[in-house]
C-alpha cells in the first residue's frame, strides 16, 4: 500500500503506512528503504539516512 501512496504522490500517507508496517514487522528491509525514500522526499535527510542505514544492516549486515 505504501508504494501505491508513493506513486500517487501521497508521501505523508506513505510515511504513516510504512511507520505502522515497521512497528509490526521491523525486519523487512524494503519497509526501511521505502521510508528512507519518503523522508528524502520530505526533505528530512537525517531520518532518511537512519532508515537507509537500517536497510543496509538488514540486507548485508551493515557491510556496505
* 47-59 pLDDT per residue, tens: 999 999 999 999 9
Residue 61 confidence class, pLDDT cut points 50, 70, 90: confident
Spell out the domains of the chain, with CATH numbers in brackets.
2-60 (1.25.40.10)
- Angle subtended by helix axes 11-24 and 29-41, to nearest 10: 150
Distance CA 62, CA 53 (A): 7
**Is residue 64 very low, low, confident or very high in pLDDT (cuts 50, 70, 90)?**
low
Q: Which residue in 11, 33, 12, 13 sits closest to 22, CA to CA? A: 33
Give pLDDT tens digits for 10-53: 999 999 999 999 999 999 999 999 999 999 999 999 999 999 99
Amino acid at each position: 500500500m505504501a508504494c501505491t501512496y508513493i506513486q500517487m504522490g501521497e508521501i505523508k500517507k506513505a510515511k504513516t503506512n510504512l511507520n505502522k508496517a515497521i512497528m509490526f514487522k521491523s525486519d523487512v528491509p524494503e519497509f526501511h528503504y521505502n521510508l528512507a525514500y519518503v523522508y528524502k522526499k520530505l526533505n528530512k535527510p537525517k531520518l532518511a539516512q537512519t532508515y537507509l542505514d537500517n536497510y543496509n544492516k538488514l540486507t548485508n549486515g551493515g557491510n556496505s
